[in-house]
Amino acid sequence: MATHPVRPATRADVARLAGVSASTVTYALTGERPISDSTRERIMDAMAKLDYTPNVMAQGLAGRRSGLIALSFPVGERGFNISDFEYVKSATEALERSGYQLLLWPNNAEDSESLRKIVSQRLIEGVILMEVRNQDPRVEVLKQAGIPFVLIGRTEDERSLTWADADFAGWGPLAVEHLAQLGHHHLAVIGQGPEFYSFGYGPVVRTEGELLRSAHEHDMRVDIYRLDAHLRDGRELVEKLMSQADHPSALLGFNEPAMIGALEAVTAAGLSVPRDISIIHFGISAESAEATVPAQTTIGVDGPLLAERATEFLIQRMRTPEAQPQHFLAPPILIDRGSTAPFQSR
Amino acid sequence: MATHPVRPATRADVARLAGVSASTVTYALTGERPISDSTRERIMDAMAKLDYTPNVMAQGLAGRRSGLIALSFPVGERGFNISDFEYVKSATEALERSGYQLLLWPNNAEDSESLRKIVSQRLIEGVILMEVRNQDPRVEVLKQAGIPFVLIGRTEDERSLTWADADFAGWGPLAVEHLAQLGHHHLAVIGQGPEFYSFGYGPVVRTEGELLRSAHEHDMRVDIYRLDAHLRDGRELVEKLMSQADHPSALLGFNEPAMIGALEAVTAAGLSVPRDISIIHFGISAESAEATVPAQTTIGVDGPLLAERATEFLIQRMRTPEAQPQHFLAPPILIDRGSTAPFQSR
DNA sequence: CTGTTAGCGCATTCAG
DNA sequence: CTGAATGCGCTAACAG
């Protein structure tokens, strides 16, 4: 009903209208001390009438809290993608429940200077880091600034930091065992470009290592291909593969565009999934997995769960910064969409 | 060098170290009044030594400015996509140059209440609205709050608001003329789902209207198909189309996943682009357009330009809120990637 | 060219 | 259960 946007009502206005002192208004809001029902009611009325909202800056200045949490979101190489969005959404909701606002903060991982700057402005009470690399310059900045933070993902230095991450080490073995049971013994991995390895991008590295170990245990052959994130690359690779006599009987994807190309190539060759080749795709959203023809069986993580844990951890750290680091590994989840089938010897 | 993250240095600390008064420090920072070189130097030294950063809350409280601008980014239905990201990136950069920080703000368009709440906290000096609908509830909230804002996109009520938008009305005619010159006279449009029409999502509506008009002028037949954003849907449609004798000779896409499916279907039918069918895709990023096989000719907008204009407008409005509304229509840009060819009569 | 002062709107003592 | 006083760190007059 604020028909008059001139000057926002202040706490003093509310106090005057309610006939109480300014501090009483504060206490009515925070519940930090007992207030009689009648005065509380008068205050609430006054606030409603004046359409009062506390001034965040003043709250922050006086109480050294802003209610603001930043989600550092490097966007440089990859842009947003759907599953990132899942995290953002659940984190936003979880934080709102605790009375915080989430600010998405698009910077790139190299630019720790701008992170440093904004953090030192004391505007922000805590930080969530996404797209974390094995060695992430942002961590040092935040440590120095003495601001509470958590990672979605983790760095090399796992023990000393608080994080929530997918259990990538479980992804490969889960896929391998699923395929082993179906009788497969020759897999191809369509991974991401070499830059992900040099950057030390955790998910790719962690997944591949355990995948290979597990495949070895099962006496499986695994060929790894590192492709750029382009439809075309996946297509060309799979065209070549399928023309070979001893081509793999299953494809493990970790590269969304390339896998679309791969599916195309299978179809173009007059073959079909899963009859001629089985497919499991790591880490893509349900939406993406169901948008292709055929839909793809996936192994991935419960994103909302991850984000929720991370925000819980953060809030705990903000309360007691000296507490022990906490960790959460989200278990791998296989969703069978029918793109795998028993191996057919040819 | 802040090895001691305990208490951040304040302006008073700087003043003391530099041997000047507190306000002099402020003026050295803002340049609002002349300062002798020697004192300025002492102040700068002190700031560096103390690793001083102004406290944003205090600045905001005292000077009623926070340096924060929000980008309202409804994520409900569509999630992020690459071209949105282009906007975000250029807006971030443009604002940084003017000394502002951009806060991405993932709320959904319906939830104007949370917008209202955060805006009334006076934390934010201005707002950029993305994914604007013909009738957008956020506009009313911002008007009432009396906070400067601009749209990337526009509402029905074009004249009274400040916005920067693509000239969608030009997209259709540009496509039609390009194809007319190549001798085509039967087009199919692969548009977006019906919900975009009921929401009044501007781009789709505006593009289609002028497209039809222009096609009519050229005596072209146009069939419009409204598909969900799924690969599968595009694929099924085009399979059906291509099996008909009088199928269209050109496809106009406004639906990225569906067009990938469409390309698949063309290939699967043993046909090829552009020999058997020409393709123009509206509004997708260069990256997406080049990721498919074959690459797609596009008609779209210069996203960075749009975002830059919008931020310029916003900053002007923040300075002089009573100024006339400003508008910017970004011209359509056709990028020929070879997916169109002269019509071959069959 | 520089210093002093009075708030900005609120949280938090300290007093009743 | 409630009020009054102090200060968070800074900007913007007001004084030289």
Q: Provide the percentage of residues in chain B whose pLDDT is more than 70.
A: 91
pLDDT digits (tens, 9 = 90+) for B133-166: 888 889 998 988 888 999 998 898 889 999 999 9
Q: Is the pLDDT of residue B202 over 80?
A: no
Q: Is residue A263 part of a domain?
A: yes
Q: Is residue A51 part of a domain?
A: no
What average pLDDT is seen over chain B?
A: 86
Do residues B177 and B291 both lie within one domain?
Answer: yes
| Span of A301-305, B59-63, B107-111 with lowest mean pLDDT | B107-111
CA dist list (Å): A62 to A57, A117, A125, A315, B262: 8, 21, 14, 20, 59
Do residues A248 and A237 both lie within one domain?
Answer: yes
**Computed from CA positions of residues A286, A292, A296, A298, in that sequence, does the dihedral angle turn out positive or negative?**
negative
Amino acid (one-letter) located at A121? Q
CA B237 to C1' D12, whole Å: 66
Question: What are the residues whose beta carbons fall under 8 Å from the beta carbon of B133, sequence distance 6 or more?
Answer: B109, B153, B155, B199, B200, B201, B202
Number of domain units in chain A: 2
Does A53 sit within 8 Å of B291, measured CB to CB? Answer: no
* Alpha carbons B294 and A255: distance in angstroms, whole number: 19
Q: Which residues of B touch A84 (CB under 8 A)?
A: 80
Question: What are the residues whose beta carbons fall under 8 Å from the beta carbon of B341, sequence distance 6 or more?
Answer: B182, B274, B275, B278
CA B55 to C1' D13, whole Å: 21
Q: Is the pLDDT of residue A331 over 90?
A: yes
Of B57, B118, B229, the CB nearest to A123: B57
Q: Is residue A46 part of a domain?
A: no
SS3 state of residue B17: helix
CA A47 to C1' D4, whole Å: 22
Q: Which residues of B touch A89 (CB under 8 A)?
A: 75, 106
Q: Is residue B125 part of a domain?
A: yes
The answer to whether strand C lies under 7 Å from the CB of residue A54 is yes
Q: Is residue B255 part of a domain?
A: yes
Closest-CA residue to B73 (of B57, B60, B56, B91) = B91
* Alpha carbons A346 and A341: distance in angstroms, whole number: 14
* Alpha carbons B322 and B138: distance in angstroms, whole number: 20
Chain C positions under 7 Å from a protein CB? 1-13
Do residues B85 and B230 both lie within one domain?
Answer: no
Q: What is the mean pLDDT of residues B301-326?
A: 91
| Residues near chain D strand, CB within 7 A | A 19-24, 27, 33-36, 38-40, 58, 61-62; B 7-8, 10-12, 22-23, 26, 29-30, 32, 52, 54-55, 58-59, 61-63
User: Up-side HSE of residue A82: CA atoms within 13 Å toward CB?
Assistant: 11
Residue nearest D4 (alpha carbon to C1'): A21
Nucleotide nearest A30, CA–C1', reads: C11
Instruction: Report the gap between the CA of A258 and the closest CA in chain B (Å).
Output: 9
Do β-strands B250-253 and B186-192 pair in parallel, antiparallel, or remain unpaired?
A: parallel
Q: Is residue A265 part of a domain?
A: yes
Chain D positions under 7 Å from a protein CB? 1-5, 7-13
Do residues B159 and B173 both lie within one domain?
Answer: no
Q: Is residue B8 part of a domain?
A: no
Closest-CA residue to A145 (of A84, A70, A80) = A70
Do residues B194 and B269 both lie within one domain?
Answer: yes
CA dist list (Å): A345 to A113, A249, A274: 57, 9, 14
Do residues B308 and B292 both lie within one domain?
Answer: no
* Alpha carbons B215 and B221: distance in angstroms, whole number: 7
Q: Which residues of B touch A229 (CB under 8 A)?
A: 291
Please tell me the predicted confidence (pLDDT) of residue A123.
84
Do β-strands A297-300 and A333-335 pair in parallel, antiparallel, or remain unpaired?
A: antiparallel
Do residues B245 and B172 both lie within one domain?
Answer: yes
Q: Which residues in range 198-257 of chain B are in contact with strand C, contact meaning CB within 7 A of any of its atoms?
A: none
Do residues B254 and B174 both lie within one domain?
Answer: yes
CA A316 to C1' C12, whole Å: 23
Q: What is the mean pLDDT of residues B37-60?
A: 89
Q: What is the CATH number of the domain that holds A277?
A: 3.40.50.2300
Most trustworthy range by pLDDT among A244-248, B1-5, B118-122, B214-218 = B214-218
Q: Phi and psi of A328, rounded to 5°?
A: -140, 125
Q: Is the peptide bond before A294 cis (omega within 30 degrees of 0)?
A: yes
Do residues A173 and A297 both lie within one domain?
Answer: yes
Q: What is the mean pLDDT of residues B248-268?
A: 90
Q: Which residues of B touch A80 (CB under 8 A)?
A: 79-82, 84-85
Does A84 sit within 8 Å of B80, measured CB to CB? Answer: yes
SS3 state of residue B231: helix
CA A9 to C1' C14, whole Å: 27
Residue of B nearest to A70 (CA): B103
Instruction: Report the gap between the CA of A215 and the closest CA in chain B (Å).
Output: 32
Does A101 sit within 8 Å of B104, measured CB to CB? Answer: no
The dihedral over CA atoms of A279, A280, A283, A289, expressed in degrees to the nearest 10, equals: 50
* Alpha carbons A238 and B123: distance in angstroms, whole number: 53
Does A232 sit within 8 Å of B291, measured CB to CB? Answer: yes
- Contact present, B149 and B142 (Cβ < 8 Å): yes
CA B58 to C1' D15, whole Å: 24
* Alpha carbons B25 and B36: distance in angstroms, whole number: 12
Q: How big is the A-B interface in CB pairs under 8 Å? A: 146
- Chain A interface, mutation test: which of B50, B123, B230, B233, most A Cβ atoms within 10 Å? B123
Q: What is the mean pLDDT of residues A275-297?
A: 87
CA A18 to C1' D3, whole Å: 14
- Contact present, B56 and B46 (Cβ < 8 Å): no
SS3 state of residue A105: strand
Q: Is the pLDDT of residue A332 over 70?
A: yes
| Span of A100-104, A152-156, B208-212 with lowest mean pLDDT | A100-104
Residue nearest C1 (alpha carbon to C1'): B35
The answer to whether strand C lies under 7 Å from the CB of residue B39 is yes
Of B81, B84, B260, the CB nearest to A260: B260
Locate the DSSP E strands across A23-110: 68-72, 101-105
Q: Is residue B186 part of a domain?
A: yes
Residue nearest D3 (alpha carbon to C1'): A21
* Alpha carbons A219 and A185: distance in angstroms, whole number: 7
Number of neighbours of residue B5 by Cβ within 10 angstroms: 14
pLDDT tier, B237 (very low <50, low <70, confident <90, very high otherwise): very high
Does B122 sit within 8 Å of A55, measured CB to CB? Answer: yes
pLDDT digits (tens, 9 = 90+) for A154-207: 898 889 999 999 999 999 999 999 999 999 999 999 998 776 665 556 677 778
- Contact present, B16 and B49 (Cβ < 8 Å): no
Q: Is the pLDDT of residue B241 over 90?
A: yes
pLDDT digits (tens, 9 = 90+) for B288-301: 787 777 889 999 99
Of A106, A114, A232, the CB nearest to B88: A106
Do residues A173 and A271 both lie within one domain?
Answer: yes
Locate the DSSP E strands across chain A: 68-72, 101-105, 126-129, 149-152, 163-166, 186-192, 221-227, 250-253, 278-282, 297-300, 327-330, 333-335
Do residues B246 and B185 both lie within one domain?
Answer: yes
Do residues A225 and A289 both lie within one domain?
Answer: yes
Number of neighbours of residue B322 by Cβ within 10 angstroms: 5
Which range marks the domain in which residue A81 is found? 68-166+303-330
This prediction has a pTM of 0.82
Does B89 sit within 8 Å of A292, measured CB to CB? Answer: no
Joined tokens for residue A209: 């290592």
Number of neighbours of residue A188 by Cβ within 10 angstroms: 22
